[in-house]
Amino acid sequence: MRKQIPEQIQNSLNKIKTAIETVPNTVPSEMRTTFNFKGRKSPYIAEKVIETIRHHDDVLYDPFMGSGSFVYAAMGKVKKIYATELDNYTFNAVSALMNKVDLLQLSELFETVKKDVYEQIMELYETSCCGRKNYISKVLFDPEEGKEGYFNPSENREIIDGKNIKLVEKCPICGRRTKKFDDGDYQKIVKLEKVNVERFPTDQYIVNSRINITASTGADQYDRIFTQRNKIALLILQDAINKLKPSREKDVLEQVLVASISLARIAMYGSSTDILYHVVGHGAQDMNVWLLFEEKYKSFCKFKSVYCDKQIGVTSSEVTIVNQGYAEYIQKHPNLKVDIIYTDFPYTDQVPYLERNQLYRIWLERFYDSNYALTQDMLKQEIVLTNAESRPEKGDIENYYKDIDTMFSHFYRVLKENGLVFFTMKLGKAKYFKTYIEIVNLARKNGFEYAYLVGVEKKDPTLRKQSAFINTFINEMIVAFCKLSDKNRYWYIGSDNYEFLLVKKVYNYLIRAKKYVTLSSAVTLVCNDLKSKYSYLASKQDIQKINELLHRYFMVDVGCIQIDSNQLYLDIEDNTDLYTKLYDLIPIFIRRLLERKGKFVLEDIYFELVNSLCDGNPKTITQILEDKTHQSDIGNLILNYCEIDGQYYVERKDGCKPNENAVDISTLSGTDFELLVQRLLKREGYDNVVKMGGAGDLGVDIIASKYEHGKLMHNIFQCKRWASNVGADPIQRLYAEKMRRGATHAVCVTTSAYTRDGKKMAGDLDIEIVDGIQLMKRLNKYFPGEYYNGIRDM
């Protein structure tokens, strides 16, 4: 029951899968090794997506710029790029990378700092090996064990023969670059403890146990995870940078220093910069601050060299980046209109960046610029779900959904007609899948329709044969939404998708009706519902909208309204048949995926189900995800039509399909299957073959007459394009309708088979049943080679 996306846009979106298929979903090392940012996305993938759907005069906006991957991807592809970033630390780090600098001057400033502090800092790490002076690159130790933790640290693969110090230079005597921590090294540590480091920050962090900032371990205190030696080194280095005159090049050096802090702390041996606040008691490493700074400086220079043609003012795209929340920026620029929004979605599993970046921000605010302060306004604006006790409003999923609701509302204002929103997402387990469904619902509420989805794993997506298929929902995805026109928007009253409620109301009314329902009575039914449920009096415009919706979701003919068998009324139909109906839709989804993509993974099937739900209600999908039987049945059903080719499902290549153009009757829509049966009956000599269109779902899809033995026989047909077997209930309904109509004969036709109860009921009630095998024999008689049945025994 999705809204129609303009064909030209849909065709462009459908090309994305092919465009990115061979593109590595990786982040360039030049990006990864500069400043510390968690959650970078591949600019290669984004670049191909933008190339596929954009025009040269397009304007692109990234409201949550982050590391700037999507800005880099868009440079040179579109006319203008706007990007906003709420976090002042992240913004300034990216700004240092994006803005053009004088590399010669940067090199001169680095050499000035080196000349000023190199010997002083290296002296802090001075040691000796075989009586010759050397310097420490890294010390492996156990912080909680005090002196003993240096002399006899926990074993790890880098400590060989007890040698827990890594040297800067190879010892000229023993030829090694490792040595055992000795008494001279310990005396150096004792001496350094007397140095005054009271300037070193002792601020308390916002506590968040999810990123290891806990008060019980002392991780909420800034200086808790630094050794005395590294505190001294960092302060010396900062003082040297502060002596430089203000310039963009100085800003770059400051960001180099701050990026070094993540490994200048007492880090878990072998840890990455993702784990910033863990208090390590054993198996720790302490690294030489100057060497860290010099390595980061080289990384920044390499980045500037590799991306020299993608700097603001150099690229052909006009680029504007702003340190501001997206909502505030849009409100202050009411005339801003863009063609594309491309960003990383602020989903529930996202790390709270304002909390994570406290390590860097506190340092910058203290020593470089007070504008790096973390304000309450910034905390309020961040769209995130966090367990921080000091941010209770950001720990409530309902408040998070309100923020997403507001986000889509702002996006609608800034996008041009038929504009597109692209999100990158990475869903974890079922609860995040539910969140995705809610995201679709909120997008529809604010004037958008889901338009496209494609998975982009770091490695190729696999079928991942695991005991619970729920664990396959780990794909990184690109999801696209299209802005609907005001006229075509979903009808929401408050938070209720009244468009869905209207369909549900009328559907249930038609189910209960014993005779045909007029269009005018259906309109009156809806108007009365509005009045009783919302105290809402329908206007002339509302009545016109009701008429349009009834024509869209039902069959209207000669003033009568009927259920459209070609519509997906999921979450409306009775729950007893829910899974049967879901299974029956899967062959249609398989055909759709194979036609659109040529191959697919299991996730694609589930997303087809999600995007076919009337109201975005996660109930149906949740029930499937939590029931292994349904998961297994769906997997087996897919294998009826597909085979596994490497890491994908592809169309079966066997003798079932008579020729390339043959149509699989088991993947037809309900309406198309009825048309096929109608075509067959006409060839078999039936007269007045009329398709009823599922009117009222009373169990009759086709009526036809035929002279037999000189007598006119009135026949009714029920058509079940099902994947599962037909049980007793449909047979009973067909019999009741036969009696009501006074028909001579009743026939149930299916693409599948019948259950034992279904066969017995048909025999008892004298209902003729035609299964998929019998149907194919009749079709092959009149239409040889045109059709086949892909259904296989499950």
Phi and psi for 208 in degrees, rounded to 5? Answer: -150, 105
pLDDT for 273: 52
Can you tell me the mean pLDDT for 369-387?
A: 93
Can you tell me the mean pLDDT for 204-224?
A: 92
Can you tell me the mean pLDDT for 458-487?
A: 61
Q: How far apart are CA 749 and CA 720, in angstroms?
A: 6
pLDDT for 464: 37
pLDDT for 468: 33
Tokens standing for 713?
């026989």
Q: Is the model more confident about 289 or about 601?
A: 289
pLDDT for 331: 96
pLDDT for 583: 67
Tens-digit pLDDT profile for residues 729-769: 889 889 988 998 889 999 999 998 999 999 999 999 999 99
Tens-digit pLDDT profile for residues 547-557: 999 998 888 88
pLDDT for 655: 63
Can you tell me the mean pLDDT for 606-623?
A: 61
Tens-digit pLDDT profile for residues 90-134: 999 999 999 999 999 999 999 999 999 999 999 999 999 999 999
pLDDT for 612: 64
pLDDT for 659: 84
pLDDT for 465: 37
Nearest to 116 by CA among 231, 253, 251, 226: 253
pLDDT band at 707 (very low <50, low <70, confident <90, very high): confident
CA distances from 630 to 516, 601, 623, 627, 756 (A): 36, 17, 9, 6, 21
The answer to whether the CB of 693 falls within 8 A of the CB of 516 is no
Looking at 31-45, 440-454, 626-640, 658-672, which range is the least confident one? 626-640
pLDDT band at 237 (very low <50, low <70, confident <90, very high): very high
pLDDT for 510: 87
pLDDT for 602: 77
Share the mean pLDDT of the chain. 87
Q: List beta partners, residue 141.
A: 284
Q: How far apart are CA 555 and CA 243, in angstroms?
A: 78
Q: Which long-range contacts (CB under 8 A, 24 or more apart) does 217-224 make?
A: 217/279, 218/279, 219/277, 219/278, 219/279, 222/359, 222/362, 224/279
